Amino acid sequence: MEISDNKTILKIKSLADSGNVSGNSTEEIFASCYNAVKKTLHITPFDEQLSASIALNKGRMVQMQTGEGKTLCAVFAACAHALNGGFVHVLTFNDYLANRDYKWMKPVYDEMGVSVGVITEKTPPAERKSAYLKQVVYSTAKETCFDYLRDFVELETEKMCFPKFDFAIFDEADSILIDEARIPLVIAGDVAVKDDGTVKEVYGKIADFNENDFEIDEETKNVYLTDNGADKAEEVFGAGSIYSAKNAGLLAKICACLKAREVLKEDKDYIVKDGKIVLVDEFTGRTAPGRVFPGELQSAAEAKHGLTITSRGRIIGSIPLQYFARLYPKIAGMTGTAESAREEFEKFYGILTETVPTRLPCVRIDNPLELYFDNDEKQKAVIEAIKTAYKAERPVLVGTQSIEESEKTAEILRSEGIPCVVLNAKNDEEEAGIIANAGNRGAVTISTNMAGRGVDIKLGGEDGKNRDFVVNVGGLLVISTAMRESERITLQLRGRAGRQGDVGESRCFAALDDEIMVKNGLQKLCGRHYPSEKTSGALTDKTLLKEAGRIQRISEGDAFDEREKLMKYTMIVEKHRKITFERRYSLLDGTYQSDIWKKNAFELYEKAVEKFGEVPLKKLENTVLAALLNEFHSDYLDYTTYLREGIHLTQIAGRNPAEEYAIACEEYYENAVRSIPERMAEKLEDILKCDRLEDYTIEKPSRIYTYLLNDIAEEFKVKPILLNVFSDEDKEEIVKETAEEKKPVSDNGNKTGFFKKLFGKK
């Protein structure tokens, strides 16, 4: 805690005691809030909470341990900003937490005279706009982002609900801004685009493909055909060279079907529910009902289970959470593991990290990593640890990596007479209640990753009835069954025990054949220290344990690089999205008046003015152009998706894929903008066929829906496996075809800033 904070805290408490808090300075508002919390919640905020609140108000990322009262800290910062004329979005991890925190903290806001609202997935569209007009809104980052995207589809500003960006406070910030930062949120619409059934057909035809026909890249989990597989594909599909440009779509379907069959695991990557493929979030273990696999992979997964392949519709707009968060002029955040992500918060979001100490010393015992030869040995050790704790009636929380593992562990425990509760993506509706009682006497809770995050685990149960007994047996024991991709996730799990000075313990188990160990080459790192024969019990070789610990840091570094690459590669797309979104809004709110028809289709325009009148025609022109920008942006997104699937081939010609991607996107965008006057003239021709302006119908999707898309920057990796399957002749042909396809459309040498020239200055 900084010295300046101590002085500020003393002043806040002094003002609160005196009641002299009529002004709107930060200290006076905090003092009023301090009294409001005491009056309405019967809680006296402690100094560490005030320190965290001060940091949030400064726009910092705050590290506070589990159970230290982060929820209350957001209220102080939100009130300070709101009472000085601002609007605040408190964005948390899931709908349950958003609704809980809103209800819990509403009395404080009411006492402070600050209006507050909540928006969840179930909030009706009609209520969203009024909710966003509140000074403080509780919601999830995903839901607010979806509302931002939904406004891009509306053709009337009155129907738009998302306000201007101001101040966002992110709760569980590491999950939102790091783990899920790369995930694009998508708004799509059903248009005249339907699945043609070819993926299902392809899936059937690859039934005889075996391990000699394809390779799996352990790092990216992508599937590629071997030479043998390419020959077999050409024979089975009778399509000529499988690597020719005309067969690019077929090759993508074949690889997607093989990946669905060989790589995607049911109850780990997805579940099948109500006849649909529902993805499982890799970080939380929760289902992600709105999310789909990218490209053809979703259809391939459906074909794998014989499900009806769903229509994808067409993507209208998309933005990753990383870019959405950066749209807020001011952001702050809270998490229990901010320090380990300090560099990323500063580099990607420009916010500094501040660590707030615990109110009471942490007495939790964090045991070092326990490493076993294989998964079977590890599982035996995990089960034995649980049995020992259960015998003493000590509560145990077990963090597993997948639904499959959680249910298998529960099955073993029940067979040995140990009752347990399974908390995973299949029953997350009961999440909060299960987690709240995970600290009760004799409770055994099996959980996937960080399910129940944001809910305190109180020793002795939610009512604390058995607290003394649980304290005497050592408090909550947290067990992690595998090394996680990030140390933060391990720390989050450990942090479930030892809340507010409670006793507790954590144990982390791992095996040499864990996915993270194999993928990052532990055997190669260890050399002669890697055991050649199966060994029972925990491994004790110091070099082996040291290198196993390093594996997690290697994995973290790779993930950081991946997110950094994705940000760099998608910056050009975000630049174009921003231009398009802003121009579209200026057309609809009347701050910009289009004159494309008058400038570029004068004769048609004169006829239309004579027939319908100039004022109503000009009003319609803005709306028609705004709708056309939706079509324009959809075309652009289709192109960028296509481009990313093949951009790595530019390395064959010795070019940088990321640079080529940016150049190609810029060229496409500028060329597409040049087509707008002609496309608008076609719209005017259609309008002239109508007897009245009211008879003209602007085409819109029949249904609008939102979802998330898993996205990584694998298309831009330095040495893609595909490069190895091409002969020199193939490479020359691909370079030739690529050059022809990417040749820019002539525009008399002028292609810079055309969008600006077309629309003029705002």
Residues 661 and 690 in one domain: yes
Do residues 307 and 351 share a domain?
A: no
| Of the listed ranges 27-41, 67-81, 311-325, 417-431, the one predicted with least confidence | 417-431
* Domain-embedded: residue 69: yes
**What is the CATH number for 11?**
3.40.50.300
* Residue ending a domain, choose from 496, 511, 526: 511
pLDDT attached to residue 653: 54
11-25, 37-51, 398-412, 625-639, range with greatest mean pLDDT: 37-51
pLDDT band at 385 (very low <50, low <70, confident <90, very high): very high
Q: Does some domain include residue 609?
A: yes
Q: Are 146 and 153 in contact (CB under 8 A)?
A: no
Residue 559 lies in a domain: no
What are the structure tokens assigned to 412, written together?
């073993």
90 in any annotated domain: yes
Lowest mean pLDDT among 437-446, 483-492, 619-628: 483-492
Residue 714 lies in a domain: no
CB 696 within 8 A of CB 611: no
What is the per-residue pLDDT for 386? Answer: 97
Indicate if 351 and 427 belong to the same structural domain. no
Measure the CA–CA gap between 688 and 686, rounded to whole angstroms. 5
Question: Can you tell me whether residue 324 is helix, strand or coil?
Answer: helix
- pLDDT for the residue numbered 756: 53
Residues 58 and 180 in one domain: yes
- As a whole number, mean pLDDT of residues 127-145 equals 95
**For the chain, what percentages of helix, strand and coil (3-state, to nearest 5) are there?**
50, 15, 35
- Flag whether 402 is in a domain: yes
Instruction: Mark whether 116 and 65 lie in a shared domain.
Output: yes
Contact between residue 214 and residue 247 where contact means Cβ atoms under 8 Å apart: no
What's 289's domain CATH number?
3.90.1440.10
* Residue 265 shares a structural domain with residue 390: no
Residues 214 and 149 in one domain: no
Nearest to 89 by CA among 320, 307, 331: 331
Lowest-pLDDT range of 3-17, 439-453, 526-540: 439-453
The region of weakest confidence among 335-344, 675-684, 725-734 is 725-734
pLDDT at 743: 42
- β-sheet bridge partners, residue 186: 318, 707
Share of the chain above pLDDT 90, in %: 52
Segment 346-375, tens digit of pLDDT? 988 999 999 999 888 889 999 999 999 999
Residue at 524 is within a domain = no
How many domains does the structure of the chain reveal? 4
Do both 458 and 606 map to the same domain? Answer: no
Residue of 575, 569, 568 lying closest to 755 (CA atoms): 575
Instruction: Residue 598: give its domain's CATH number.
Output: 1.10.3060
Side-chain-side CA neighbours of 98 within 13 Å: the count stands at 26
Instruction: Give per-residue burial for 594-625: e unless 16+ CB within 10 Å, then b.
Output: bebbbebbeebbeebbeebeeeebbebbbbbb
Q: Are residues 674 and 641 in the same domain?
A: yes
Asked whether residue 266 falls in the same domain as residue 221, the answer is yes
Is the separation of the CB atoms in 257 and 198 below 8 Å? Answer: no
Give the sign of the dihedral formed by CA 336, CA 337, CA 338, CA 339. Answer: positive
Are both 232 and 277 inside the same structural domain? Answer: yes
In a domain, 499, yes or no: yes
**Cα angle 232-721-295, degrees, rounded to a multiple of 5:** 75
Q: Let me know: does 310 contact 195? Beta carbons within 8 Å.
A: yes
User: Which residue, 53, 100, 95, 98, is CA-closest to 77?
Assistant: 53
Q: Which of 183-197, 218-232, 263-277 has the lowest mean pLDDT?
A: 183-197
- Structural domain including 748 reads 573-702+727-759
| pTM for this predicted structure | 0.78
Are 480 and 504 members of one domain?
yes
